[in-house]
Copies of this chain bind each other. A is one copy, B any other.
Amino acid sequence: MVTSEDYGQFETAWCPGCGNFGILKALKQALAASDLAPNQVLLVSGIGQAAKTPHYLRCNCFNGLHGRSLPAATGAALANPELKVVVTSGDGCHYGEGGNHFLAALRRNVDLTVLVHDNQIYGLTKGQASPTSLEGMHTKAQPDGVHSYPFNPVAVAVSCHAGLVARGYAGEVEHLAGLIQLGLAHRGLALIDILQPCVSFNKLNTYQWYGQRVYKLGAEHDPGDWEAAIKLSYEFGERIPLGVIYENQRLAFQDHYSVLQKGPLARQAVDHGILAQVMEGFF
């Protein structure tokens, strides 16, 4: 039995009170509850406060570039189907710099668990607007307020028929751990957009702000109902639903690759005999 403690306890570089602590805790709990040992898990991240997460638990880690965690994770998942690949990065990473990869990963439905620490701000670079920042929010880089319509990751994910789409909240650790566990169990891309207060820079979307708005979805919502999910995905205002918004059973991207049926590519010897046959076509 794996426990949360197997994932260790590390000093972080986060601000006291940051929502990332709740996410880290939930992640460890979910991994343990899924009975995944640290060496079976690969955490892939980009750059940002959220993206430091893999340094704060015991696991395999590929901490890559800002915005590029999804392609790196996709590559790793295609190289070794036995790894449980979890992606953990910020809203800037996933929806800003990495927006194109986000779209592509949803459409591919790669079997990945994708955690987006969505603090609606660029934390590490000290407080510029992110794609999910609400219109009108003021920052030093947006002194006249944000002019863009906020990105709705949940809606876009549902519209691209991603495997599982959920929203969690860093202030609801147990509930979030449950969502992550569902994500880990789902075969296909599981997006978990996590509302994450940034106590240093986001003075608008605070614990209080989120706390007043979030509610947990109950059994009345059927995540298998795509139309209902689409509708629900636009609810982000006075009330914000938490839970699994959408789930389907589309084939995971990896399952299209026959080579992956044979396990990790590194274990499959190169067959020069077959190559010699291939060469025959060029004589």
Interface of chain A residues 68 through 118 with chain B (CB within 8 A) = 97-100, 103-104, 106-109
Contact of A99 among B104, B148, B150, B234 (CB under 8 A): B104
What residues of chain B lie closer than 8 Å to A230, measured between beta carbons? Answer: 230, 234
Residue in chain B with minimal CB distance to A97 = B100
| Given A99-B99, A148-B253, 4 new contacts (CB under 8 A) | A99-B104, A107-B149, A149-B161, A151-B160
Contact string against B for A residues 233-248, beta-carbon threshold 8 Å, 1 for contact and 0 otherwise: 0100000000000000
What residues of chain B lie closer than 8 Å to A171, measured between beta carbons? Answer: none
Interface of chain A residues 147 through 164 with chain B (CB within 8 A) = 147-152, 155-156, 159-161
Check B99 against A103 for contact (C-beta < 8 Å): yes
Residue in chain B with minimal CB distance to A160 = B149
Q: Does A131 count as interface, using CB distance less than 8 angstroms?
A: yes
Q: Does A140 count as interface, using CB distance less than 8 angstroms?
A: no
Residue in chain B with minimal CB distance to A147 = B256
| Alpha-carbon gap, A179 to B164, bound state (A) | 36
Most buried by B among A104, A106, A144: A104
Q: Given A99-B99, A131-B107, A159–B152 Cβ distance below 8 Å?
A: yes
Residue in chain B with minimal CB distance to A255 = B147
Tell me how far the C-beta of A83 lies from the nearest C-beta in chain B, rounded to whole angstroms: 20
What residues of chain B lie closer than 8 Å to A213, measured between beta carbons? Answer: none
Q: Which 9 A-B pairs have the closest CB atoms?
A: A99-B100, A107-B148, A100-B100, A147-B256, A107-B149, A155-B159, A149-B161, A108-B148, A99-B103
